[in-house]
């Protein structure tokens, strides 16, 4: 199983971007999904989570501006980012807790990261 992230790019402050992360592989179920980010010279931080029941959490720094969601029919998770600020500049990573049905095994899977640059 793997995650493929996309949607990053260069945007002006105040603008919007939507990140996508598609899961692929065989016979899996996605439980909790999350987006993390890592800015230059800083540690990776949790941005948002979405559990299988639809519950969501957000870092204080993005509350009211970012929205995490998923489309189970497409095995894809999203991060809608509005009112972007220069401090949102980072590499964004998707993460999913996936249950591999045939192997009865749970895995934490990471996407490859997508760069978001916000110019002021």
The gap between the terminal CA atoms of the chain, to the nearest Å, is 38
pLDDT for the residue numbered 15: 98
Q: Rounded to an integer, what distance in angstroms lies between the CA atom of residue 49 and that of residue 116?
A: 19
Residues paired with 26 in a beta bridge: none
Per-chain mean pLDDT for the chain:
96
Give CA angle at 71 (70, 75), nearest 5°: 100
Above 90 in pLDDT, residue 18? yes
- Residue range 22-33: mean pLDDT, rounded: 93
Tokens of 117: 């640059």
Q: Which pLDDT value is given to residue 26?
A: 80
Strand-strand pairing, 114-119 and 9-12: parallel
């Amino acid at each position: 199983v793997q995650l493929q992230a996309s949607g990053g790019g260069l945007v002006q402050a105040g603008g919007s971007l939507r990140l996508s992360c598609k899961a692929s592989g065989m016979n899996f179920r996605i439980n909790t999904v999350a987006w993390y980010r890592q800015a230059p010279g800083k540690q990776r931080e949790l941005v948002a989570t979405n559990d299988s029941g639809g519950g969501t959490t957000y870092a204080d720094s993005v509350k009211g501006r970012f929205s995490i969601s998923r489309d189970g029919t497409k095995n894809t998770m999203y991060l809608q980012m509005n009112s972007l600020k220069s401090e949102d500049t980072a590499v964004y990573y998707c993460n999913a807790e996936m249950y591999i049905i045939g192997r009865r095994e749970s895995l934490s899977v990471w996407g490859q990261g997508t760069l978001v640059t916000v110019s002021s």
